[in-house]
A and B are shown apart, each in its own frame.
Chain A
């Protein structure tokens, strides 16, 4: 018995077959595991790329046709109009003893105040419209890409992604694109708190109601938006998701954010899988040149 056993153990015929079979098994298993990880890595990379693209589509919609830039610019001009009209009314009351001139300046002042109210109403409407347009655009782009993700292989399964985050806001440190208007020295002096110092001109602070130093001043709420650089508008571009920040609903957003989640399984066991999650953000096209 022992001799048979020992003979069997000493017999080297067929050893290579066993060794090769074992080695091949380990190799194949290794390749499957590597393939699974590669698939997961590929899914992560592709998911991030999709999220970036979706966020960019949303961001481009925000300042379409430079509507946000135009609104900020007009706020700055309306502010000057209201201030100028008020100042003229005061000058007419104080200096001229001319009732008709006082009446005319009051008429023009009331007109300017009505315009400011109208502009504020349109500004608020635009803030809501911009958010909605970005949200719809992100949803549409997501719908186009989601079905292309499904993969079902023995070693890798990828489900269709879910859109977890679809919102818009601002970016840390972003101010408005509206440049300081310098026609009235007394207003410039009092405007220090409403401006961000810079050269050659200052910009109005974003998320700021730059009310005038006059009684019952209307609101002038500047939204964040990248200013023009020289004669060029800053293009829509991806930004680090960490720089995204929420924005009060009353202001128009300048940054779109998209978050995707996907379920990935490696097929190596009933619980061998998990969720991949990515977030991307993109800022809108900057403000254009004044018109």
Chain B
């Protein structure tokens, strides 16, 4: 009898734990898919650029291509813009079309690297591109729900965002009003998902 009671209590405890985790998973899943469009940025390093005596640009140019597709349908992507960077500083832009995102809809920014071994300059450029695309979305009255970055680039991109005016979002103190619209949730696309919320100050 006592054994039955104990096992019943154990089962109840396990059930409660499972329900809690499912709730969390459901919440994060909702947060993950609570966007209507994805702006996917692919970074790459360009070879044989600006070779001349005294050149500061020589072989230090990165190119980032931003494509847009609805939700997670990457097959239907359309080119949006390309950005060129020098040591993480923007150098040029080619705009292909106005942001193909309906006003008021949620957006996910996704960073990818063309190679498996991206340079630090690519990560720095990616951080700047995140800011620029965030502004694009904001001026289009679209919210950036989340920013997904490769796991290996997570900390580097966070650090570069901090160098460009962002900081770890603090908890709201009593009476303090934090401008939620100027915060970004950065998530890593990896097992053991890391995430960090940053605020622009």
Main secondary structure of the interface of A (DSSP, over half): helix
> What's the minimum C-beta distance from B7 to chain A, rounded to whole angstroms?
56
Of B48, B52, B86, B135, the contact of A104 (CB 8 Å cutoff) = B135
A163 at the interface (CB under 8 A from B): no
- Give the complex CA separation of A67 and B57 in angstroms: 11
Interface centre among B56, B92, B200 (most CB of A within 10 A): B92
| CB–CB A108/B91 < 8 A | no
Within 8 Å CB of B92, what residues of A? 74, 76-78, 80-81
Contacts A104-B131, A104-B135 given; does A77 touch B52 at CB 8 Å: no
Known: A122-B50, A291-B49. 5 other contacts (CB 8 A): A115-B86, A115-B89, A125-B52, A130-B52, A291-B63
In this complex, the interface size class of chain A, counting residues with CB under 8 Å from chain B, is 35 or more
Within 8 Å CB of B164, what residues of A? 107
Within 8 Å CB of B56, what residues of A? 118, 122
Contact bitstring B29-52, A, C-beta under 8 A = 1, else 0 = 000000000000000001011111
B115 at the interface (CB under 8 A from A): no
- Give the complex CA separation of A143 and B46 in angstroms: 37
Nearest residue, chain B, Cβ from A95: B139
| CB–CB A104/B165 < 8 A | yes
| CB–CB A88/B139 < 8 A | yes
A92 at the interface (CB under 8 A from B): yes
Within 8 Å CB of A92, what residues of B? 135, 139
A64 at the interface (CB under 8 A from B): yes
| CB–CB A119/B91 < 8 A | yes
A129 at the interface (CB under 8 A from B): yes
Contact bitstring A104-127, B, C-beta under 8 A = 1, else 0 = 110110011011001100100110
B97 at the interface (CB under 8 A from A): yes
A184 at the interface (CB under 8 A from B): yes
Which residues of chain B from 76 to 118 have a CB within 8 Å of any chain A CB?
Answer: 81, 83-84, 86, 89-97
| CB–CB A108/B132 < 8 A | yes
| CB–CB B50/A67 < 8 A | yes
| CB–CB B95/A84 < 8 A | yes
Lowest 7 A-B CB distances belong to which pairs? A183-B95, A77-B92, A81-B93, A65-B51, A129-B52, A100-B182, A80-B93
Contact bitstring B162-201, A, C-beta under 8 A = 1, else 0 = 0011000000000000010110000000000000000011
| CB–CB B89/A181 < 8 A | no
Which residues of A line the B interface, CB within 8 A? Answer: 64-67, 70-71, 74, 76-78, 80-81, 84, 88, 91-92, 95-96, 98, 100-101, 103-105, 107-108, 111-112, 114-115, 118-119, 122, 125-126, 129-130, 132-133, 181, 183-184, 291
Contacts A80-B94, A81-B92, A129-B54 given; does A91 touch B200 at CB 8 Å: no
Contacts A88-B139, A104-B200, A108-B135 given; does A67 touch B91 at CB 8 Å: no
> What's the minimum C-beta distance from B135 to chain A, rounded to whole angstroms?
6
- Give the complex CA separation of A119 and B138 in angstroms: 29
Within 8 Å CB of B89, what residues of A? 111, 114-115, 118
| CB–CB B179/A71 < 8 A | no
> What's the minimum C-beta distance from A72 to chain B, rounded to whole angstroms?
11
Nearest residue, chain B, Cβ from A83: B93
| CB–CB A112/B52 < 8 A | no
B4 at the interface (CB under 8 A from A): no
Nearest residue, chain B, Cβ from A132: B53
- Give the complex CA separation of A122 and B89 in angstroms: 15
Contact bitstring B43-74, A, C-beta under 8 A = 1, else 0 = 00010111111111100000100000000000
| CB–CB B135/A105 < 8 A | yes
- Give the complex CA separation of A104 and B184 in angstroms: 14
> What's the minimum C-beta distance from B161 to chain A, rounded to whole angstroms?
12
Nearest residue, chain A, Cβ from B132: A108
Of B50, B63, B95, B165, the contact of A107 (CB 8 Å cutoff) = B165
